[in-house]
């Protein structure tokens, strides 16, 4: 049999003459030619001749002769029409189109060196109580009032101010209020907790009434009142006299997604927080127990709205009654000096998803990306950490005991 031949193909009322065929190629190639002529997809073709039906991958025992006629059966599909709206792929989208498709929150246009303000506003936006207050009231004062309650003062109880140069001078005691905690950074600080402890146990120089001159004192403090939302400033800028510039400490200082400041509090505050902290342990144990149960034992029903216990002491609105916090926003700085560089906000959207607000450019990032903001190079470095209250879930009746 010749390798190349020309066959006739009859399809319904139509007939195609001199269709080329090469027996060295699989029958699928011939069917592809028939598809080009008839519009019938190869998988819908049934090609018959004397000796059998044509397969896809081999000719088998079929004997073909030049000029013979084959019969093809099968219906042609209508050619697909070009869509009215062309599909757009993620790779081809602009940042604005991507943000819209993923239902991301709005960014803020940089009006000229306003990146710090933009980033700060986006961090504040992560506080649900502030958003609710703004929806209820149109007056700016309502926003300020809510801010003062939720970001209310952090009281430090100064347990001791002892002069190290005079044994006869009695230590002094007192209280002071702060709007944030500061994390001091030196060569020893690798973790946030270490830097916070340095802030509460520091060396200061002040006038000594017994020595009648400036002397060195050790100032020891404990937290006597915690705010609902805790702001932590990473003390990364210092003044370089030689260059006359506020230089930046680039050192890597790890911070946690979940923060517990119990150890930094006074004994009195710790005692007040014990009952709520024990409830957290009950809820966590119950959830762990449910995760270990076989799926068939779990009740299946409509999802219920999660309810939470108050995070404030009943007599102190805007306080924290547990000392447990979850990181919910980070304000970062990229650059070598406080007078230059760029500020960006990173805000938690849900448990495993964060949103990066780079002025008007908005994108989704992961918790792993947030942990990379701890410093150590020229990448974005955490400058302000905003911790919100960890919410204590109310278990169904009968499950909380």
Report the pLDDT averaged over residues 210-229. 93
Work out the angle at residue 244's Cα, subtended by the Cα atoms of residues 239 and 250, and round it to the nearest 5 degrees: 45
Task: DSSP letter for 191, please.
Answer: B
Q: What is the pLDDT of residue 104?
A: 80
Encoded tokens for 363? 């994108």
Encoded tokens for 224? 């006597």
Q: What is the pLDDT of residue 399?
A: 46
The CA–CA distances, whole Å, from 266 to 83, 228, 259, 269, 293 equal 68, 17, 17, 5, 40
Domain ranges of the chain: 4-73, 99-154+229-288+305-389
Summarised one tens digit per residue, pLDDT across range 372-385 is 999 988 899 999 99
Q: What radius of gyration, in Å, describes the C-alpha atoms of the chain?
A: 36
Q: Are 243 and 190 in contact (CB under 8 A)?
A: no
Would you name the residues annotated as active-site residues? 115, 342
Summarised one tens digit per residue, pLDDT across range 338-347 is 778 899 999 9
Summarised one tens digit per residue, pLDDT across range 306-327 is 899 999 999 998 899 999 999 9
SS3 content of the chain, % helix, strand, coil (to 5): 25, 35, 40
Whether 400 shows a pLDDT value over 50: the answer reads: no
4-73 fold? Ubiquitin-like (UB roll) (3.10.20)
99-154+229-288+305-389 fold? Cathepsin B; Chain A (3.90.70)
Whole-angstrom Cα distance, residue 397 to residue 401?
9
Mean pLDDT of the chain: 85
Q: What is the pLDDT of residue 89?
A: 67
Q: Are 234 and 185 in contact (CB under 8 A)?
A: yes
Summarised one tens digit per residue, pLDDT across range 36-45 is 898 888 988 9
Q: What are phi and psi of 306, to 5 degrees?
A: -75, 130
Whether 50 shows a pLDDT value over 50: the answer reads: yes
Q: What is the pLDDT of residue 15?
A: 92
Q: What is the pLDDT of residue 101?
A: 62
Summarised one tens digit per residue, pLDDT across range 277-316 is 999 999 998 888 877 877 666 666 666 788 999 999 999 9
Q: What is the pLDDT of residue 139?
A: 53
Q: What is the pLDDT of residue 215?
A: 94
Q: Are 359 and 118 in contact (CB under 8 A)?
A: yes
Beta bridge partners of residue 222, listed in sequence order = 157
Three-state DSSP at 212 gives: coil
């Amino acid at each position: 049999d010749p390798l190349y031949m020309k066959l006739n193909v009859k399809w319904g009322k139509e007939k195609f003459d001199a269709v080329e065929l090469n027996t060295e190629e699989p029958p699928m190639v011939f069917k592809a030619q028939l598809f080009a002529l008839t519009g019938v997809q190869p998988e819908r073709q049934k090609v018959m001749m004397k000796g059998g039906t044509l397969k896809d991958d081999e000719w088998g025992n079929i004997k073909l002769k030049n000029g013979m006629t084959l019969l093809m059966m099968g219906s042609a599909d209508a050619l697909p029409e070009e869509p009215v709206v062309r599909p757009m792929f993620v790779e081809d989208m602009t940042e604005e189109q991507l943000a819209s498709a993923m239902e991301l929150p709005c960014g803020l246009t940089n009006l000229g060196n306003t990146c710090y303000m933009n980033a700060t506003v986006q961090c504040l936006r992560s506080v649900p109580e502030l958003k609710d207050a703004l929806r209820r009231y149109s007056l700016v004062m309502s926003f300020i009032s809510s801010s003062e309650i939720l970001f209310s003062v952090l009281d430090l109880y100064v347990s001791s101010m002892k002069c190290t140069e005079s044994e006869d001078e009695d230590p002094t005691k007192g209280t002071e209020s702060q709007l944030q905690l500061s994390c001091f950074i030196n060569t020893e600080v690798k973790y946030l907790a270490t830097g916070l402890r340095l802030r509460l146990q520091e060396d200061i120089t002040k006038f000594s009434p017994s020595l009648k001159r400036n002397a060195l004192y050790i100032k020891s403090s404990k937290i006597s009142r915690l705010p609902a939302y805790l702001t932590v400033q990473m003390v990364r800028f210092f003044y370089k006299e030689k260059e006359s510039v506020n230089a930046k400490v680039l050192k890597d200082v790890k911070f946690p997604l979940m923060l517990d400041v119990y150890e930094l509090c006074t004994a009195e505050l710790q005692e007040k927080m014990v009952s709520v902290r024990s409830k957290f342990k009950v809820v966590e144990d119950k959830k762990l127990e449910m995760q270990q149960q076989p799926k068939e034992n779990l009740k299946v029903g409509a999802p219920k709205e999660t309810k939470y216990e108050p995070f404030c002491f009943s007599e102190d609105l805007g306080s924290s009654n547990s000392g447990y916090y979850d990181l919910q926003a980070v304000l970062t700085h990229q650059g070598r000096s406080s007078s230059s560089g760029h500020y960006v906000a990173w805000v938690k959207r849900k448990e495993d998803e964060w949103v990066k607000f780079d002025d008007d450019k908005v994108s989704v990032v992961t918790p792993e990306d947030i942990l990379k903001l701890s410093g150590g190079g020229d990448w974005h470095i955490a400058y302000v950490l905003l911790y919100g209250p960890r919410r204590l879930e109310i278990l169904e009746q009968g499950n909380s005991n």
